[in-house]
Each structure stands twice: as structure tokens, then as C-alpha cells.
């Protein structure tokens, strides 16, 4: 038997029946009863695409073996006992749907799903303190602060310096354990992972294709290296080129953004699917952040591993993380990846 508490005015769907709580209500259901909870009542066929709006911990995705979305079964066949303790179920549901979309057809090759997390402090957050922690803990990343958006990103979108153009592409991630020997084994497995190598190839290709019109020569390594950060390891490739025109660092950033590493490929269809399924506004997360001088030289990174201070409540901050989805993605692994990527900001805000 599972007990769920509904607050006044909340509505739940239990095996298709809509219940509305009057006052604080405790709902007792059998373990295999399908249940969703939220302030909006949703039809079964809306459950997957609107999963992000639900905050009761329930798995909302179901993939029919024949390759068809069966949204009625998505509601009827939920296992409430299992999902009651599952973290960020809406994020997993979105990952499942993304992977299913790519497995179903040829329109999508790779997609980048994002999720957010609201951090609430007891006192107003002094941004100087988490910035100091980020800079100290992640010296090989670019620490930034722009109008309440702070973070430490490992990914260089583009640098232009005296005619040399460089970009560091990251795609493919595994969490570190803290045991050096084990981490070396994990790094080797990451370098051999067909799923991560596929995701990385799409990201590198999109950057190389975007920079090619602006370069008279380019160096695109065939094999990525493993970048070791304190919390995770990434497949990384440094793309370099010699400029053939007067495009500024900002102009190059505009040509590159959004790359496959933060959106997907092909970009237009990936962006449309993200808008349909992701269910949240990213704000400035994954956008370019950097600088440019009067000569056009500069450095622009991608705003990752970051958080946005709430302008209306200095105690609150919205944290972001994302993961690359390809046809072979595992939703549990992708969710674990986003949890690992939230670690820098969580630690920076911790006691």
C-alpha cells in the first residue's frame, strides 16, 4: 500500500479517474495503481509530452515494443511503488521520449536534453562565495559571472587570437568515483563507448562544418581525448583553424551557436523537438558567455555547470544540467549524468 499526500486544490489522476483534494488529503493506493499528481489535470495522451509539469515522482514514459507511443498504457501501467522514490522522474521521462523519437526514425541523430533544479538557501546568497568555490575547485574550467548567472564551464565555444581559431568540443561523459585506478578504467571505457563516441562525433562535425567557411586550413583530430575534471570525465576534441576572413570572435560564436553539443543535430528539427518535449525555458543556460576586444579577438564559452540567481528572491537559484541523447541512450544513465553535472553548483552552494 502506498500513501500519497495531496495539498488543498491538487488534482490526481488514478487509473484514469480525476480526484481533487479538498483540504489536505491522504491518498492510499495499491502498489500497481497508476497515479499522477499535479495542479493541472492531464489527459493520458498528454502525459509524456507534459511530463515536466508534473512534480509527483512517477514514471510517465512507456515505449511499445512495436515502436508506437501508447499513451493510454503510459498511464495505466505505471508502477507507483517503484517510482515513489525515483529522483527527477520527469527528467527520466523526457530522456526516454527523446531516445524513442530517435529510434523511431531518421529525422534526429542526437539531442541534448536539459533539466533544472531550484536551490533555496536560508539566507540571501552572496554570489561571491560560490564563485570563489567554483574557481578554486575547477581551475581548468572557465569561471564566469554575468548578471546573476554564475558557473564554471569546461567547454570553449570559440577563441580567436591573432588569426588562430580554436574550439573545444565536449560530448560523452562519465562520473568520477574518487578512486584513481577505477577512474582510469572508467576513462578507458568512455573512450571505447560506441554511444558516447557517436554523440561526440556529431558534436565535432557540427563545429567543424560551422567553422569551415571562416578558415583557410583546419585541424580536426580523428580521435577524442579524455578530459579529467574533479567530478566527471568527458570525451574532448580541440578543433583548430587559421582564419581566412575578418569574422570576429563574436561572429564566430554566432556561427557556431547552437552546436550539436547543446542542441542536437540536425539543428532545426532537434531544436523543435526540444521545444516540444523539454517543457522548460532554458534562459541563458547553454548560451555563449565571454568577451571580445576592439580588434575582434576574444573568447566565448558555453554557459554550462551554472546557476541563475532569482532576481525576485535572493535566497533562490536555478541550477541547470544537460545530457546528450542518441538512439542507444539509457534513461537511467542520462539522468545520472545530469546529477553528476549538478555537483559543481551544488557543492559551491553547500555549507
The answer to whether position 170 is within a domain reads: yes
What's the average model confidence in pLDDT over 274-278? Answer: 77
Identify whether residues 52 and 122 lie together within a single domain. no
| pTM, two decimal places | 0.69
Identify whether residues 187 and 224 lie together within a single domain. yes
Per-residue pLDDT, 104: 53
Three-class HEC string of 202-236: HHHHHHHHHHHHHEEEEECCCCCEEEECCCEEEEE
Per-residue pLDDT, 114: 79
Identify whether residues 79 and 175 lie together within a single domain. no
Range of the domain at 54: 2-86
Q: Which residue has the higher pLDDT, 236 or 69?
A: 236
Identify whether residues 185 and 63 lie together within a single domain. no
What's the average model confidence in pLDDT over 147-173? Answer: 95
Per-residue pLDDT, 339: 87
Is residue 52 within 8 Å of 281, Cβ to Cβ?
A: no
What's the average model confidence in pLDDT over 284-310? Answer: 94
The answer to whether position 338 is within a domain reads: yes
Identify whether residues 78 and 224 lie together within a single domain. no
Identify whether residues 114 and 64 lie together within a single domain. no
Identify whether residues 82 and 128 lie together within a single domain. no
51 DSSP 8-state letter: G
Identify whether residues 172 and 53 lie together within a single domain. no
End-of-domain residue from the set 71, 86, 101: 86
Per-residue pLDDT, 161: 96
Q: Which residue has the higher pLDDT, 104 or 115?
A: 115
End-of-domain residue from the set 36, 53, 86: 86
Q: Which residue has the higher pLDDT, 15 or 124?
A: 124
Per-residue pLDDT, 18: 47
Identify whether residues 12 and 152 lie together within a single domain. no
Burial of 236 (0-12, 13-18, 19+ CB in 10 A): buried
Q: What are phi and psi of 326, to 5 degrees?
A: -125, 180
Identify whether residues 222 and 266 lie together within a single domain. yes
Is residue 78 within 8 Å of 70, Cβ to Cβ?
A: no
Count of the separate structural domains present in the chain: 2
The answer to whether position 95 is within a domain reads: no
What's the average model confidence in pLDDT over 289-306? Answer: 95
Report pLDDT digits (tens) over 5-40.
666 666 555 544 445 555 565 555 444 334 444 433
Report pLDDT digits (tens) over 212-250.
999 999 999 999 999 999 999 999 999 999 999 889 999
Element (H, E) at 29: strand 25-29
Does residue 258 surpass a pLDDT of 80?
yes
Identify whether residues 30 and 129 lie together within a single domain. no
Helix (H, G, I), strand (E, B) or coil at 198: helix
44 DSSP 8-state letter: G
Does residue 202 surpass a pLDDT of 60?
yes
Does residue 206 surpass a pLDDT of 80?
yes
Identify whether residues 192 and 50 lie together within a single domain. no
What's the average model confidence in pLDDT over 276-284? Answer: 81
Instruction: Give how far Cα 52 sits from Cα of 42, 61, 72, Å.
Output: 12, 12, 18
Amino acid at each position: 500500500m502506498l500513501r500519497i499526500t495531496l495539498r488543498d486544490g491538487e488534482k490526481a489522476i488514478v487509473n484514469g479517474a480525476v480526484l481533487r483534494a479538498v483540504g489536505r488529503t491522504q491518498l492510499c493506493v495499491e502498489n500497481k495503481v497508476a497515479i499522477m499528481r499535479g495542479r493541472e489535470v492531464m489527459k493520458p495522451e498528454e502525459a509524456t509530452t507534459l511530463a515536466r509539469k508534473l512534480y509527483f515522482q512517477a514514471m510517465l514514459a512507456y515505449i511499445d515494443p512495436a515502436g508506437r507511443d501508447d499513451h493510454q498504457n503510459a498511464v495505466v501501467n505505471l508502477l507507483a511503488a517503484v517510482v515513489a522514490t525515483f529522483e527527477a522522474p520527469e527528467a527520466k521521462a523526457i530522456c526516454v521520449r527523446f531516445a524513442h523519437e530517435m529510434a523511431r526514425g531518421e529525422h534526429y541523430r542526437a539531442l541534448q536534453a536539459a533539466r533544472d533544479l531550484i536551490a533555496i538557501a536560508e539566507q540571501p546568497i552572496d554570489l561571491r562565495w560560490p564563485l570563489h568555490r567554483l574557481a578554486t575547485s575547477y581551475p581548468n574550467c572557465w569561471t564566469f559571472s554575468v548578471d546573476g548567472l554564475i558557473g564554471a564551464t569546461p567547454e570553449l565555444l570559440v577563441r580567436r587570437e591573432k588569426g588562430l581559431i580554436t574550439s573545444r568540443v565536449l560530448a560523452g561523459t562519465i562520473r568520477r568515483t574518487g578512486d584513481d585506478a577505477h577512474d582510469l578504467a572508467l576513462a578507458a571505457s568512455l573512450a571505447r563507448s560506441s554511444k558516447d563516441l557517436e554523440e561526440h562525433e556529431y558534436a565535432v562535425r557540427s563545429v567543424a562544418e560551422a567553422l569551415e567557411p571562416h578558415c583557410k586550413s583546419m585541424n580536426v583530430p580523428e580521435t577524442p581525448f579524455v578530459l579529467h575534471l574533479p567530478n566527471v570525465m568527458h570525451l574532448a576534441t580541440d578543433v583548430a583553424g587559421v582564419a581566412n576572413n575578418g569574422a570576429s570572435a563574436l561572429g564566430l560564436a554566432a556561427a557556431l551557436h547552437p552546436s550539436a553539443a547543446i542542441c542536437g543535430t540536425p539543428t532545426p528539427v532537434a531544436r523543435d523537438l526540444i521545444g516540444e518535449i523539454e517543457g522548460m525555458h532554458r534562459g541563458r543556460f547553454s548560451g555563449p558567455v565571454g568577451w571580445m576586444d576592439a580588434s575582434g579577438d576574444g573568447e566565448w564559452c558555453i554557459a554550462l555547470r551554472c546557476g541563475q540567481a532569482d532576481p525576485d528572491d535572493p535566497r533562490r537559484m536555478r541550477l541547470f544540467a544537460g545530457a546528450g541523447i542518441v538512439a542507444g541512450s539509457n534513461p537511467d544513465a542520462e539522468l545520472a549524468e545530469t546529477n553528476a553535472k549538478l555537483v559543481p553548483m551544488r557543492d559551491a552552494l553547500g555549507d
